[in-house]
Chains A and B, each alone.
Chain A
Amino acid sequence: MFKLFASTALTLCLAGAASAETFKWAGTTDPQTMDPHAVNSAPVLGFLNNVYEGLVRRGKDMAVEPALATSWEPIGVGEGWRFNLRKGVKFHDGADFTAEDVLFSYQRASSEASDTRSWFAPVADVKVVDDYTVDILTSAPNPIFPDSIANWMMMDKGWAEANSTALPDKENGNYATLNANGTGAFMLKDRQPGLTTTLAPFDGWWDEAEHNITEAVFTPIDNPATAVAALLSGDVDMINPVPIQDAARVDERDGTKVIRGIEARVIMLGFGQDRDELKYTAMAGQPNPFKDARVREAVAKAINVDAILKTIMRGSAEPASQLVSPAMRGFSDALAARPAYDVAGAKALLAEAGYGDGFSFGLKCPNNRYLNDEAVCQAVTGMLAQVGIKAELDAMPVQNYWPELRADNFDMYLLGWSPGTFDHEHPVRFLVTTPNPEKKLGSWNFGGFSNARVDELLPMVQSEIDDGKRQAMMDEITSIYQSEHAYVPMYVQPLVWGAQDNIELTQRPDNFFILRWVTVN
């Protein structure tokens, strides 16, 4: 009897081991760091959403739901928000999650050294009420504040201080760059930058696990064609993205499938417009034509977005007129038209601005960040050449790209922006307001676009509770940045993921891949 029992137990064990699933996935970009406060970029935040958690999180439909806070309510009339924290939450190292950690994470994520500090522009103060209650006071009424902090991830104070990583260091890195200690569904087991990153489920997680993964391995594969080959040969279970040109083939083949969607990300061109001189080509040192809004408008008119979408994007992306897609809150329906493709008009504008004979400049572009980014930049180079302005294209991997942009090393550049809050206010705050490190504004406004009226309107938008009035102000901001051609929005990027047929997963429009929704059948 005992023997039978033992052998049954053994069989059950074996069966358990057989259904234990190692899930392997690949993406183009390795998350630069494991520090959730060091770099504000989607590959990092998307990856770390599996390891760290915020007070709130986004569900499959992007709606905000309770995470480390069980509930929240406004304090007084727009004075701030009170968050009631979840009890019994443990960090991966076993430490308890308390209000002190929230305060610490606020100080860390809003510090000078952090790339995420602009998220806290509306915050005046954070107060610990008791171990499980935190008040976040805002300098003005901020109705969307809880919506805006889903990516603000909680770090253990004790752990960070013990490992002398109380402040992030995005340039040189520190302990938190290679190690992680969150409260999330997965723990960081092994991190080899650029090679593999291994996650394991966290047994002490407070929520019910939906997935059946026992180990998850992420491998960055730079070359999209190689990633497709890895998917087709079964080396990986999921890849993001599938090159658009290969989507049909992956979908038609038995055993693999393509999951499509429209990403919240708008791809646009930005200009160095706050400086007097060009930086690149033989014309370096000459007066900067992009200071003139007519030249920027000429660029907008010279770009044949339809051609880019038809060929390079193979019909699977939508043209964009604003810094957000129509699905986002605050999109201006009245201003949904893009400047028409008009070579003669562009030439006329250039002539009017005094550049009838054209000029040359440097165009910076990533080559592994967005779908077909280098090909799009090449196409832009060709289209601009047709109106007589010569772009010298310099395409580079994304890990070199952001430092170049931060160092102002461009005349024109390509940027993709996905609003973390799903609100038009987000790109306005990051890309359109005058850069102001003190107020934590315009932190990704590399070109230095500046308009006093936009700066004046943004705080009003942030504190407006009435939807109609808020939209009216949003429309005004949109019409300003459109008529000034602060940026040239081109298209909304499609989401194209590939997976084995036995994988069930959820694709969120922010292109975050959430492991706890993955089932291996």
Chain B
Amino acid sequence: MTTSSEQTAKPKSMLARAWDSDVGYSFRHSPVAIISSTVALLLILAAVFAPLLAVMNPFDPASLNLLNGFTPPLSQAEFSPDWFLLGTDDQGRDVYSTILYGMRISLFVGFAAVALGMVIGITLGLISGYFGGWADAIIMRIADVQLTFPSILVAMLIFGVAKGVTPVEYRDQLAIWVLILAIGLSDWVQFARVVRGATLVEKNKEYVQAARLMGRGALPILFRHILPNVMSPVLVIATISLALAIIAEATLSFLGVGAPATQPSLGTLIRIGQGFLFSGEWWILVFPAVTLLALALSVNLLGDWLRDALNPKLR
């Protein structure tokens, strides 16, 4: 009896605790945080529920009608009775539906790439900070070298190599995964450096020394004791990295090396739309660009706020 009542009370108290915490307080009193998180949440939900919200599946070539091509926003196609909210592109794809589906790719690539970069970066950062010595030297020199290249260049390099080694038959199916790999591998450095710095501070604290005296191994100490205490800066970087990863994906796709044209992400849409800017078909470019802007900006602002909220010195 008592255990079950405790269990039902627990989730509620956690939410309430978060709401009442310093971070929650800061959130309630920051209009920027409220607005940006609302926008980000709406966009993410729109992407998740794209199949319900979209009027067509733009990734299915069979659903396209070429005769709907170049229909302006809020108007009827010239050669068919169909209506389009945000117009259509050159292939007769509904821009509104394509944005929803394209955002799924952008967000999926963004989240997955950040997760990959985070896992690699945290692991290497912990090892580097905790063990020091030659492991630290090697990892940090690799990081330094990688930092001297713009990350988009690194991503393009990785993308090029990965595309070269994947079998031709599977190139299109693998394009998204290659993209994730390329972006993830290009931004692990920031995580590694921050985690290393925090680990250097944490490893000399009493609780770590106590754990060590009790005879715990290095791995449990790293992941059970140090990791939770270095997570708050990691969260901040992860949020900002997400915005950067979404933009990196858009850049790669814009350059034509990312998502294939038959499965356009936001960047691919902008690349397609850019070709029609001069001829007056602005909607093919503008709507995906505004969506990308809203998505990246809201996530970025959220990251900024989180950084301030988690930094006790700024309070």
Contact = CB atoms under 8 A, between A and B. Distances in A.
A225 B274 contact: yes
A280 B180 CA distance: 24
Contact of A382 (B61, B168, B275, B280): B61
Nearest to A372: B90
B66 A307 contact: yes
B147 interface: no
Interface in B274-291: 274-281
A516 B91 CA distance: 40
Q: Indicate the member of B66, B91, B274, B281 with the most A CB atoms within 10 Å.
A: B66
A243 B272 CA distance: 13
A457 interface: no
Nearest to B69: A311
A462 interface: no
A381 interface: yes
A385 B172 contact: no
Contacts of A236: none
B173 to A, nearest CB: 9
B64 interface: yes
Interface stretch (A46-54, A244-252, A446-454): A244-252
Given A280-B168, A375-B91, A246 B61 contact: no
Chain B interface bracket (under 10, 10 to 19, 20 to 34, 35 or more): 20 to 34
Contact of A310 (B62, B67, B91): B67
Contacts of B280: 249
Contacts of B260: 393
B169 interface: yes
A308 B70 CA distance: 12
Contacts of B92: 311, 382
Contact of B169 (A224, A248, A281, A378): A281
A378 B261 contact: yes
Interface in B241-268: 260-262
Contact of A225 (B69, B79, B275): B275
B76 to A, nearest CB: 15
B225 interface: no
A304 interface: yes
A308 B281 CA distance: 18
A67 interface: no
A393 B262 contact: yes
A281 B262 CA distance: 15
Contact of A375 (B60, B90, B277): B90
Given A249-B280, A280-B169, A381-B61, A312 B90 contact: yes
Nearest to B91: A378
A379 interface: yes
Interface string A219-247: 00001110011000000000000010110
B84 to A, nearest CB: 14
Contacts of B69: 311-312
Contacts of B274: 225
Contact of A243 (B70, B79, B279): B279
Interface string B168-194: 110110000000000000000000000
A383 interface: yes
Contacts of B169: 279-282, 284, 362
Given A249-B279, A308-B66, A378-B262, A394 B172 contact: yes
Contacts of A393: 260-262
A392 B92 CA distance: 19
Interface in B54-90: 60-62, 64-67, 69-70, 79, 90
Contacts of B66: 304, 307-308, 311-312, 379, 382-383
Interface of B: 60-62, 64-67, 69-70, 79, 90-92, 168-169, 171-172, 260-262, 274-281
Given A225-B278, A394-B171, 19 more contacts: A228-B278, A243-B278, A245-B276, A245-B278, A248-B279, A249-B279, A249-B280, A304-B66, A310-B79, A375-B90, A381-B61, A382-B61, A383-B66, A385-B60, A385-B61, A385-B62, A386-B61, A392-B172, A393-B262
By Cβ-Cβ distance, the 4 closest A-B pairs, closest first, are A245-B279, A311-B69, A385-B62, A385-B61
Interface of A: 223-225, 228-229, 243, 245-246, 248-249, 279-282, 284, 304, 307-308, 310-312, 362, 374-375, 378-379, 381-386, 388, 390-395, 409
18 contacts: A225-B274, A225-B275, A245-B276, A246-B278, A280-B168, A304-B67, A310-B67, A362-B168, A374-B261, A375-B91, A381-B61, A381-B262, A382-B64, A383-B66, A385-B62, A386-B62, A391-B61, A392-B172
